[in-house]
Amino acid sequence: KQEVTQIPAALSVPEGENLVLNCSFTDSAIYNLQWFRQDPGKGLTSLLLIQSSQREQTSGRLNASLDKSSGRSTLYIAASQPGDSATYLCAIKGNDMRFGAGTRLTVKP
Amino acid sequence: DGGITQSPKYLFRKEGQNVTLSCEQNLNHDAMYWYRQDPGQGLRLIYYSQIVNDFQKGDIAEGYSVSREKKESFPLTVTSAQKNPTAFYLCASSIDWGNGYTFGSGTRLTVV
């Protein structure tokens, strides 16, 4: 059974800092990996989708990487802003979709 | 704009009552999913459907039921057999089984 771990559980940084969120998974037989953002009381917003054959995806200030052999993905956020404050979830699609518990990010002005 | 609509946003259930959560998508996606989210926990899969008129149990299906009579719709019924239904419920869809998910905005269910 796929297990997904996100470290750290919470992170607080000053505005403008570059940061990395980590996601690890136990089974490398995956279709894709997806990073989501969740604001309090809201649904999940898809940020980046990396297919199994890809190594990374970029969207604006966000860059996500995938290393299946080591069972790791990172989400890099450049020049963080207070509006980036949210919980970030990674999800692994294999036989089903497994979610990490998330990293709660706070960006302080 | 294409998307997933969940309704209602807030729902209150009395003890012993069945309630139905609505999920509608206009993305022409084949697969649809229901998740439950509890504070401090990850999302847990309740039911999923890969195609019309077919659905499968997820990890925590007990006390829940679904139907998939139309491609666009995947309603979830929380029955009186679900002993701890207070949670945030999220519906998602994907174009097919192996692709990324699009989520709705969620329904918060509270037992009163």
Average confidence (pLDDT) over A81-94: 96
Residue A78: pLDDT band with limits 50, 70, 90: very high
The Cα B11–Cα B107 span in angstroms is 7
pLDDT recorded at residue A33: 96
The Cα B112–Cα B85 span in angstroms is 11
Residue of B nearest to A46 (CA): B102
Residue B93 near residue B27, CB atoms below 8 Å: yes
Q: How many CB atoms lie within 10 A of CB A104?
A: 17
Q: Show residues of chain B in contact with A49, CB under 8 Å.
A: 99-100
Which residues, other chains included, contact B9 with Cβ-Cβ below 8 Å and sequence gap of 6+? B105, B106, B107, B108
pLDDT recorded at residue B83: 87
Q: What is the DSSP string of B51-97?
A: ETTEEEE-TT-TTEEE--SBTTB--EEE-TT-S---EEEEEEEESST
Which residue is it, tokens 């997904």? A4
pLDDT recorded at residue A68: 94
Residue A95: pLDDT band with limits 50, 70, 90: confident
pLDDT recorded at residue B9: 96
Average confidence (pLDDT) over A44-72: 96
pLDDT recorded at residue A1: 85
Q: How many CB atoms lie within 10 A of CB B6?
A: 20
Contact A46 B98 (CB under 8 A): no
Mutate to test the interface with B, among A96, A103, A104 (most CBs of B within 10 A): A96
Judge residue B35's burial from the number of C-beta atoms within 10 Å of its C-beta, 0-12 exposed, 13-18 middle, 19 or more buried: buried
Average confidence (pLDDT) over A70-87: 98
Smallest CA-to-CA distance from B36 within A25, A29, A99 is with: A99
Q: Show residues of chain B in contact with A102, CB under 8 Å.
A: 42
Q: Give the Å distances, CA to CA, from A47 to A34, A91, B21.
A: 7, 11, 26
The Cα B66–Cα A100 span in angstroms is 25
Average pLDDT, chain A: 96
Residue of A nearest to B43 (CA): A99
The Cα B34–Cα B74 span in angstroms is 8
pLDDT recorded at residue B1: 65
The Cα A14–Cα A26 span in angstroms is 32
Tokens representing residue B45 in the block:
């899969």
Q: Which residues of chain B have pLDDT under 70?
A: 1
Residue B88 near residue B39, CB atoms below 8 Å: no
Residue B92 near residue B35, CB atoms below 8 Å: yes
pLDDT tens-digit readout, A4-17: 999 999 999 999 99
Average confidence (pLDDT) over A57-63: 97
Q: Which residue from B42, B48, B105 is facing A99, i.e. has the nearest CB?
A: B42
